[in-house]
Amino acid sequence: MSDVILSFENIEKSFFGVRVLKEITLGVPRGKVLGLVGENGAGKSTLMNLMGGVHAPDGGQMLLDSKPYAPRTPSDANDAGIAFIHQELNLFTNLSIAENIFIDGFPRMRWLPLLNRRHMRARTQQFLDAVELDVAPDTLVEKLSPGERQLAEIAKALSFDARIIIFDEPTTSLTARETERLFRLIDRLRSDGASIIYISHILPDVLRLADEIAVLRDGELVAHGQTSEFTINRMISLMVGRAIEQLYPERSAAPTATPVLEVQGVSQRGIVEAIDFTLHKGEILGVFGLMGSGRSELARILFGLDDHERGQISVAGKPYARPSARRSIDAGMAFVTENRRDEGLLMDISIAENIGLVALPHYAAASAGAVKEGRYYDQIGGVAESLAIKSGNIRQQAVKTLSGGNQQKTVIGKWLLDKPSVLIVDEPTRGVDVGAKYEIYSILNDLAADGAGILFISSELEELMGVCDRMLVMSNGEIQAVFDRSAFDKERILRAAFRENG
Amino acid sequence: MMEANVNEPNRAASRTQAGAQSAARGKTQRVLRKLLLSEYFVLYLSIVYFLVLWPFIPRIASPQNLGNIFSNMWPLLAVAIGQTFVLIVAGIDLSQPSIMALVSVVGAAVMTTQLDPVLFEKSPLWGVVFTEAGGPLAGSFLAVPVAIFAMLLVGALIGWFNGTAVARLKMPPFMVTLVGMMFFSAFAIYLVKSENIIHLPESYVLLGQGQISFIPYSFFIVGALAIAAQWLLSRTVLARWFYAVGTNMRTATVSGVPVVRVIVLAYMLSGVFAAVGSVFYSARLAAGRPTLGATLLLDVVGATVIGGTSLFGGKGKIMWTVFGVLFFVLLDNSLNLLNLSYFWVQIVKGSVILMAAALDVARTRLLARG
């Protein structure tokens, strides 16, 4: 047996005349973990879709166990023993784990047209044991946490004896503990002989897991070798095509002492408890916390999307009661939500109208009055330009056609027409590649230098340490600790974030 | 193009031939694609339909019939414009026909000049609103304007009720307006005990039947309203809010769009435009009829959706609805000319709507492919 289980040979693929894969020749090592990295649009997903039978290559061929492999449908790929664990999971949330696992072929009773539930449960239990997921086979998937769902999906992959398992950004919605558990499982799958392709933007994870690393840039394979040959900096410069000296921009102005957002004793039972802090003009204030710590919930309360029972929120010294999104906006607040697809953007609508949506009422005398389109589109164009949103025509092109990074810049852009004094950003760099991350940090940096106060919520500690002036650490809905930039210390911050109450 | 003519002995010849064929096919495909994706697709479809039928039913092009088609369009268009607003905010208004019935009764009750006691004695309005001598404003010069105002007001009120239930109480639009349809049409019948109110003022009847040369009054009024609606849906802040709410309500909320107000407004517009349609329909009948519009629901929703307005919200234009209504009226008219029975008319209409829906899916897929 050769030590390559699947190989790509001179693979070519174009969409709409654009070459997205250029003569890719790459071997997937047998029984090892191959880390696959590259910016968004580098061709990682296309390459995986060829393996998965979603698309067919325009040129070149794939060999599986040295035999030609040309899947025409995803189920061909499954039959060949190739399993995908997607970023967005592919389980039916209204069905049980066992039903999900057997969805492609339910076991029947021998004489009756009925399902053999006992057999389903027993088999499912074996797979659940294998992935160390401690729930009953009949549990509905909707009752599982994101991490548990992922394990259930891996259990499904095991059920059809997958020999190659592809993980595409598997940790984006996992807590630190779930991530650790997933890594242990990947290690074990490898020692059991499975071949694994691990795709992620989180480069330290790739270094930790992979035996070999392959780097894609603009549809070309720019490097492939043993993990020991790579460092994070080398991977980044290979991905970006130039050396990036620093991951975070230099802060260009110091925060002032003028408060722009004061929060006193804000509480909502079961969600947040006695939140007190002050955000200053020109300050980037980080909020770190694990999943479920209340960080995103706090942002929604501050912006007036959710209620709070007690406490007071003041913007620029003026308290406001009965908050709502419109009142918050009029008070000078802006909110870049965690989920840009569902809450940040109108995906089918043009970039220009998305950017204009928040400040829209200021461009007409009345809501039934005509929008002053000259000024409206001029200023929108100005915002798009200042953010360097890559688009041919912002008035024609729908947002959904943009890359993740440009979409995120559009979400930020729609708050900038109004020049907010308080900007709340929740996970602004999720699913965004290295280059765009740097751009987003720079935008936040510039806004702070122009006098906005920024509340930067994130689950990535490194970026908060790189960008923020101060950091609040939340756990169980409370602020556990506050650190100044000079006192940033990874271990102490994490300890505060893991602190349990009582 | 993979023209596999490998087995052909005379390869060169067949290749050129195949090349010419495929070039021609490529061109027709491009033209077809362009037609299919055009905003004017339904207009073209109507024209083609008309031209195809012309040799079979020559009467379809007679001046009188063309006049019929032309005057039949406008009342239906008024109602369909209202539906367009609601569909854009990802709702649906099934109660429109019942609004038409109720406001037709209300308007007639206000302005009628004479009622037959034998028919109306049992009506709950007898002695309260109207008597043998007609409605409260019988014979007054204010009768017609006040009656029309009352009709529009009732339409707006029902719309407000629907919109509030949908937006504030988060009830599904389908349920709210379906129940509304049952309730208001039954209520209209109850008010007049199934009888038509006749003896309406002449000036009102003229509104539905009058013409300037061959152009009906309804053309001027509904035409002006359509232009106003198109302007409202393209140039204003509200326009952008309508589409934002229909595309993604959560994004709209976070962006400070007054979502509840926008949805309530859409349903109120739907009610008011249904009432406008009712003014013309009942003027044409010269009667307030408690079952007015009972068969119109499919026509209204069908015409709007065939025009291209999406049932999923966020997509729609008044111009599209104009074309959809034209197509529907033409279809109706041609089926009548063919002297088909009511059942056949319904069967054919249903098939055409289904085909239009299939075409819409095909168009959407083509658009998505870019």
pLDDT exceeds 60 at position B8: no
Residues B237, A358: C-beta atoms closer than 8 Å = no
Q: Summarize pLDDT for A165-190 with one digit per residue, the tens.
A: 999 888 777 777 788 888 988 998 89
Strand order through the sheet with A259-268: A272-280, A259-268, A310-315, A318-319
Burial of residue A446 (CB within 10 Å: 0-12, 13-18, 19+) is middle
**Considering the domain boundaries, does residue A443 fall inside one?**
no
DSSP alpha helices (H): ranges in A2-135?
A: 44-51, 74-79, 97-101, 117-130
**Considering the domain boundaries, does residue A442 fall inside one?**
no
pLDDT for residue A329: 92
Query: Does the CB of B235 have a partner CB in chain A at under 8 Å?
Result: yes
**Is the same domain home to A25 and A61?**
yes
How do B211-212 and B215-216 pair as beta strands? antiparallel
Q: Residue A217 in contact with residue A237, Cβ under 8 Å?
A: no
Nearest to A343 among B240, B241, B250 (CB): B250
Contacts of A365 in chain B (CB under 8 A): none
pLDDT exceeds 50 at position B364: yes
**Is the same domain home to A136 and A228?**
yes
**Considering the domain boundaries, does residue B339 fall inside one?**
yes
**Is the same domain home to A235 and A370?**
no
Q: Residue A268 in contact with residue A284, Cβ under 8 Å?
A: no
Q: Summarize pLDDT for B105-123 with one digit per residue, the tens.
A: 999 999 999 888 888 888 8
**Is the same domain home to A325 and A350?**
no
Structural domain tally of chain B? Answer: 1
For chain B, the farthest-separated pair of C-alpha atoms sits apart, in whole angstroms, at: 95
Sequence-distant (6+) residues with CB within 8 A of A340 are: A407, A408, A411
Place of tokens 């209300």: B106
pLDDT exceeds 50 at position B22: yes
3-state helix, strand, coil in chain A (%, to 5): 35, 25, 40
Nearest to A335 among B254, B257, B315 (CB): B254
pLDDT exceeds 60 at position B5: no
Contacts of B248 in chain A (CB under 8 A): 342, 345-347
Give the range of the structural domain holding residue A347, as residue numbers without chain letter: 342-417
**Is the same domain home to A299 and A354?**
no
Tally of CA atoms within 13 A in the half-sphere of B197 that contains its CB: 39
Domain boundary among A240, A270, A293: A240
For residues A375 and B292, give the distance between their C-alpha atoms in angstroms, rounded to a whole number.
48
| Rg (chain A; Cα; Å) | 25
**Considering the domain boundaries, does residue A446 fall inside one?**
no
pLDDT, mean over chain B: 88
pLDDT exceeds 90 at position B284: yes
SS3 A28: strand
> What is the sign of the dihedral through the CA atoms of A56, A62, A67 and A73?
negative
CA distances from A383 to A355, B57, B256 (A): 8, 59, 19
pLDDT exceeds 60 at position B4: no
SS3 A112: coil
**Is the same domain home to A358 and A326?**
no
Query: Does the CB of B310 have a partner CB in chain A at under 8 Å?
Result: no
pLDDT for residue A413: 94
Q: Identify the band that residue B30 occupies on the pLDDT scale cut at 50, 70 and 90.
A: confident
The token pair at A335 is 């909110």
pLDDT for residue B149: 97
The token pair at A175 is 């807590």
**Is the same domain home to A68 and A202?**
yes
The token pair at B56 is 């079979």
**Considering the domain boundaries, does residue B107 fall inside one?**
yes
What's the CATH code of the domain at B267? 1.10.3470
pLDDT for residue B9: 42
**Considering the domain boundaries, does residue B28 fall inside one?**
no
**Considering the domain boundaries, does residue B164 fall inside one?**
yes
**Is the same domain home to A225 and A262?**
no
**Considering the domain boundaries, does residue B106 fall inside one?**
yes
Domain boundary among A181, A205, A240: A240
**Is the same domain home to A428 and A374?**
no
Query: Does the CB of B257 have a partner CB in chain A at under 8 Å?
Result: yes
Residues B237, A369: C-beta atoms closer than 8 Å = yes
Tally of CA atoms within 13 A in the half-sphere of A291 that contains its CB: 13
Residues B254, A345: C-beta atoms closer than 8 Å = no
**Considering the domain boundaries, does residue A445 fall inside one?**
no
**Is the same domain home to A102 and A190?**
yes
SS3 A279: strand
Give the range of the structural domain holding residue B357, as residue numbers without chain letter: 40-51+66-369
Q: Identify the band that residue B355 occupies on the pLDDT scale cut at 50, 70 and 90.
A: confident
**Considering the domain boundaries, does residue A201 fall inside one?**
yes
Q: Identify the band that residue B6 occupies on the pLDDT scale cut at 50, 70 and 90.
A: very low
For residues B171 and B248, give the distance between their C-alpha atoms in angstroms, rounded to a whole number.
17
**Considering the domain boundaries, does residue B59 fall inside one?**
no
Nearest to A325 among B231, B256, B370 (CB): B256
Burial A324-357 (b: 16+ CB within 10 A, else e): ebbbbbebbbbbbbbebbebbbbbebbbbbbbbb
- From first to last of its 502 residues, chain A has per-residue pLDDT tens of 578 899 999 999 887 666 788 899 999 999 999 999 987 667 888 888 899 888 889 889 999 988 999 998 888 888 888 988 876 667 888 888 888 888 877 777 777 777 778 888 888 898 888 888 888 888 888 888 877 888 888 888 888 778 999 998 887 777 777 888 889 889 988 998 899 999 988 888 899 999 999 999 888 899 999 999 998 888 888 887 766 667 788 888 888 999 999 999 999 998 899 999 999 999 999 999 877 788 999 999 999 999 899 999 999 888 877 778 999 999 999 999 988 888 999 998 999 999 999 999 999 998 888 999 999 999 999 999 999 888 778 898 889 888 788 899 999 999 999 889 999 999 998 877 777 888 899 999 999 999 999 999 998 888 999 999 999 999 889 999 999 999 998 888 888 887 754 3
**Considering the domain boundaries, does residue B110 fall inside one?**
yes
The token pair at B157 is 């009120």
φ, ψ of residue A139 to 5 degrees: the values are -60, 135
**Is the same domain home to A186 and A212?**
yes
**Considering the domain boundaries, does residue B21 fall inside one?**
no
Q: Identify the band that residue B12 occupies on the pLDDT scale cut at 50, 70 and 90.
A: very low
Structural domain tally of chain A? Answer: 3
Burial A174-205 (b: 16+ CB within 10 A, else e): bbeebbebbbebbeebbeeebbbbbbbbbbeb
Q: Identify the band that residue B357 occupies on the pLDDT scale cut at 50, 70 and 90.
A: confident
pLDDT for residue B26: 73
pLDDT exceeds 50 at position B13: no
Helix or strand holding residue A34 (H, E): strand A33-37
**Is the same domain home to A383 and A431?**
no
**Considering the domain boundaries, does residue A183 fall inside one?**
yes
Average pLDDT for residues B90-107, to the nearest whole number? 96
Query: Does the CB of B242 have a partner CB in chain A at under 8 Å?
Result: no
Q: Summarize pLDDT for A266-323 with one digit per residue, the tens.
A: 999 988 999 999 999 999 999 998 777 889 999 999 999 998 999 999 998 888 777 7
Q: Which chain A residue's Cα is nearest to B247?
A: A346
